[in-house]
Amino acid sequence: MARRFVERKIMSNELGISLAELLEWNDEAAHRWKSHLETNPGLLEVASDIGKTGNVQGFVRHIWGGELRWAQRLAGLESTEFATGPLDALFAMHIEARDLFSGLIDGPEAAWAEPYELKFDWIPEDQRLMSRRKIAVHTLFHGHRHYAQLATLARTAGFPAEFRGDLLFSAAMR
């Protein structure tokens, strides 16, 4: 039996972080990681067992490809194939996702509360219905969770990042 979608009041932008701020923080982090990977191309070949990605390049593909896939779903677009490399092609997936999310954020605010059904066999039926906002927030936090893992991989492989990825140090939110 599918879970009933319960509509809740969305927190005011004055009290919480907005989707636009999350998107800006996400974009800032993606640009920093792209720059770090360009400066340290050997990092792309470092082994990674996270999500069965094989190496850092596969891991970054997972991060930016996931952003694109969810943005496409929320925009009602057909999913495209993920690029496999090089780095610029992977980063293009992030840019496309960012642009799609930006367009969605600029759209009608009421649409974010609309229910969205995740139609995947691996998700129990009673957990498939959620707001589009929840999916967007999940997607924009997804990369940050993985960037923390990537920072550990980079540091232990001898490629420490010289920037702070925490929201506390981001220009996305004052």
Domain-wise residue ranges, the chain: 19-161
Q: Where are the beta strands (DSSP E) in 2-79?
A: 47-48, 54-55
Q: Give per-residue pLDDT as tens, 101-157.
A: 999 999 887 788 888 999 899 999 999 999 999 999 999 999 999 999 999 999 999
Contact 61, 82 (CB under 8 A): yes
66 closest CA partner among 55, 53, 49, 54: 53
CA 5 – CA 129 distance, rounded (Å): 6
The CATH-assigned architecture of domain 19-161 is Up-down Bundle (1.20)
pLDDT tens sequence across 20-59:
999 999 999 999 999 999 999 999 999 999 988 999 999 9
Q: State the sign of the Cα–Cα–Cα–Cα dihedral 62, 63, 64, 66.
A: positive
- Calpha distance 72→66 (Å, rounded): 10
pLDDT class of 8 with cuts at 50, 70, 90: very low
Length of the chain (residues): 174
Contacts 24+ apart (CB under 8 A), 148-151: 149/50, 149/59, 150/33, 150/56, 150/59, 150/60, 150/63
pTM higher than 0.75: yes
Phi, psi angle pair for 144, to nearest 5° = -65, -40
